[in-house]
Amino acid sequence: MSKLDTFVDHKIAQNLFIWFFLFLIFMTAIQNDNRVLASLFAIILLAPPVYVNNLYILPFFRKSTAIYIVLFLLNTALFTGISVVILNTIDDLSFTWSRFFNFFGILILSLVFASTIKIARDSFTRRQQEKEAELKLLKAQLNPHFLFNTLNNLYGLSVIKSNKLPGLMLKLSDLLRYSLYETKEAMVPLEKEIMYLENYVALEKIRLEDETEIIFTKTGDFVSHEIAPMLLIVFVENAFKHFSASKKEQNSVIISIKGEADSLLFECINSIDTTVTKETDLEKGKSGIGLQNAKKRLALMYPDSHRLITTSTNTRYTVSLEISKIKTI
């Protein structure tokens, strides 16, 4: 989070900004020889009823509208009376109902304005918390999903007592270290995320050897950008999970990543086994968890700045992802 975001989210800073804005309005509206002192005095009179309303009365709005309206009017009338008495004492004037109702109207407008800001801010905060909770849930679902598939590979190699197992376990150790310790933040350096993909591809090369053509290319700037963690791995993992296993055809997984000034272009292509139809491919029926989570995370993290396209032919399946306005470190 940037310093500007921290400042904007700070409640004290928000309150000071609003009161300063009202102070400037009073400076323009009040006709008095000493506008600064009169404006400060108006702020002092308005602050107590506003905070009483926002902190103690406004919570009743969701519970009972009738109770809220009664408390709102009582709060307004009480502080209107106190303010009028103070003003009359300072000006050495007697009590008049016209002055009471004038200040009563001003106070109602101020409380409605303050209540609207409070409700809007609380609603925004609640939506942000819901978004963060959903993102944490999606990440929690994603990591075990990847680990489950990788452990299946380890098990298969252990059964045949393959000499590739030690190298595979070292790569898996690097992958788990990243997924467990480097992905706690909402954003991670793009360079580390791509290194994570390279380790995963290297792990698959050890497992598949010469059975599959595996190409991984990267071009552009990856040092000065950030990305949501464990986002691209879903598409790469599914490519290896569902690529063609036919001995008669050339099997391939081709991954390319291109970093530009403020965007990221990702493409993942894998061959398809033409002898297996969608209806009989039981494994593809289980692939929805990772892809669904990836789409949800893209919608949450990059709502208006991403384009995800998947295409399928008789021989290949392609995932193309473009993220624009990617965050800069």
103 and 25 together in one domain: yes
172 and 242 together in one domain: yes
185 and 314 together in one domain: yes
303 and 202 together in one domain: yes
Query: What is the pLDDT confidence band of residue 108, given thresholds at 50, 70 and 90?
Result: very high
169 and 306 together in one domain: yes
| Rounded CA separation 155/151 (Å) | 6
80 and 212 together in one domain: no
Over residues 299-308, the mean pLDDT reads 88
Query: What is the pLDDT confidence band of residue 8, given thresholds at 50, 70 and 90?
Result: low
| Residue 27: count of CB within 10 angstroms of its CB | 15
Query: What is the pLDDT confidence band of residue 283, given thresholds at 50, 70 and 90?
Result: very low
Closest alpha carbon to 233 in 323, 139, 119, 146:
146
176 and 307 together in one domain: yes
Number of domains in the chain: 2
Asked whether residue 134 is assigned to any structural domain, the reply reads no
Please identify, among 103, 125, 147, the residue that sits at the C-terminal boundary of a domain.
125
Asked whether residue 153 is assigned to any structural domain, the reply reads no
108 and 181 together in one domain: no
Asked whether residue 136 is assigned to any structural domain, the reply reads no
Please identify, among 125, 153, 175, the residue that sits at the C-terminal boundary of a domain.
125
Asked whether residue 15 is assigned to any structural domain, the reply reads yes
Asked whether residue 18 is assigned to any structural domain, the reply reads yes
What's the 3-state SS for the chain?
Answer: CCHHHHHHHCHHHHHHHHHHHHHHHHHHHCCCCCHHHHHHHHHHHHHHHHHHHHHHHCCHHHHCHHHHHHHHHHHHHHHHHHHHHHHHHHHCCCCCHHHHHHHHHHHHHHHHHHHHHHHHHHHHHHHHHHHHHHHHHHHHHHHHHHHHHHHHHHHHHHHCCCCCHHHHHHHHHHHHHHHHHCCCCCCEEHHHHHHHHHHHHHHHHHHHCCCCEEEEEEEECCCCEEECCCCCHHHHHHHHHHCCCCCCCCCEEEEEEEECCCEEEEEEEEECCCCCCCCCCCHHHHCHHHHHHHHHHHHHHCCCCEEEEEEECCCEEEEEEEEECCCEC
Asked whether residue 149 is assigned to any structural domain, the reply reads no
Asked whether residue 93 is assigned to any structural domain, the reply reads yes
175 and 116 together in one domain: no
Query: What is the pLDDT confidence band of residue 49, given thresholds at 50, 70 and 90?
Result: very high
Q: What is the pLDDT of residues 264-275, one digit of tens each?
A: 999 999 998 766
Contact 306, 140 (CB under 8 A): no
Place of tokens 């309303």: 53
| Rounded CA separation 59/286 (Å) | 46
Domain containing residue 30: 3-125
Identity of the residue numbered 62: R
Phi, psi of 270 (to 5 degrees): -135, 145
88 and 197 together in one domain: no
pLDDT at 280: 40
We report the CATH number of the domain holding residue 204 as: 3.30.565.10
Please identify, among 97, 125, 153, the residue that sits at the C-terminal boundary of a domain.
125
> Is the pLDDT confidence value at 223 over 50?
yes
170 and 306 together in one domain: yes
Of residues 211 and 112, which shows the higher confidence score?
A: 112
Of residues 159 and 270, which shows the higher confidence score?
A: 270
| Rounded CA separation 71/306 (Å) | 48
Of residues 133 and 22, which shows the higher confidence score?
A: 22
Asked whether residue 206 is assigned to any structural domain, the reply reads yes
218 and 303 together in one domain: yes
